[in-house]
């Protein structure tokens, strides 16, 4: 059941990050990938800062922040190429 919640939060976070960063549509799989990688990255960054995400809202915020950071880094890499 946790895997299903992780996937749903990843989908939502990927979509939210795309809206925040004004990125083009990535589709269901693209949003899932961005959101899941963002969740891992966000959890790492939040942990470094000494915070912890609790509950559904905390997980969504953490995953979205991580996804925004991921999209920002990818945008910078694309500009340099």
The residues, any chain, with a CB within 8 Å of residue 70's CB and separated by 6 or more, are: 17, 34, 37, 38, 41
Distance CA 49, CA 31 (A): 26
Domain boundaries, given as residue ranges, for the chain = 2-80
The number of beta carbons lying within 10 Å of the beta carbon of residue 7 is 13
pLDDT in tens, 48-73: 999 988 999 999 999 999 999 999 99
* Nearest alpha carbon to residue 45 among 62, 20, 32, 68: 62
Model pLDDT, residue 1: 77
pLDDT in tens, 22-32: 887 788 899 99
């Amino acid at each position: 059941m946790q895997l299903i919640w992780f996937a749903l939060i990843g989908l939502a976070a990927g979509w939210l990050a795309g809206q925040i960063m004004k990125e083009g549509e990535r589709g269901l799989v693209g949003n899932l990938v961005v959101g899941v990688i963002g969740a891992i990255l966000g959890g790492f960054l939040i942990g470094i800062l000494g915070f912890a995400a609790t509950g559904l809202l905390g997980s969504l915020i953490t995953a979205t922040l991580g996804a925004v950071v991921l999209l920002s880094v990818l945008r910078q890499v694309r500009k340099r190429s």
